């Protein structure tokens, strides 16, 4: 049973990731996305902070911010 519930948890976490909200700094060199709008990596953003989804961020070639690994 433990294996089954882990498997269900795994599937659920995949489904949830598709609509995960992430944050981007709207700067020319910005290549990172952030799970938290209060992340240290965003605190020095000089431009607007954009809210988007994880899928969109990844399709734009963004990678996870170094502070959140």
Residues that bind Zn ion (CB under 5 A): 34, 39, 41, 65, 67-68
Give me the least distance between CB of 59 and Zn ion, in Å please. 19
Considering the complex, state which of residue 54 and residue 65 has its C-beta at the smaller distance from Zn ion: 65
Considering the complex, state which of residue 49 and residue 67 has its C-beta at the smaller distance from Zn ion: 67
Give me the least distance between CB of 64 and Zn ion, in Å please. 7
Exposure letters 12-51 (e unless 16+ CB within 10 A, then b): eeeeeeeeeebbbbeeeebebbbeeeebebbeebeeeeee
Q: Retrieve residue 55's tokens.
A: 């899928």
């Amino acid at each position: 049973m433990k294996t089954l519930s882990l498997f269900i948890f795994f599937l659920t976490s995949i489904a949830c990731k598709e609509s995960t909200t992430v944050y981007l700094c709207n700067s020319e060199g910005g290549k990172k996305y952030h799970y938290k709008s209060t992340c240290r990596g965003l605190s020095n953003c000089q431009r607007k902070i954009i809210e988007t989804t994880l899928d969109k961020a990844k399709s734009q070639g963004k990678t996870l911010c170094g502070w959140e690994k």
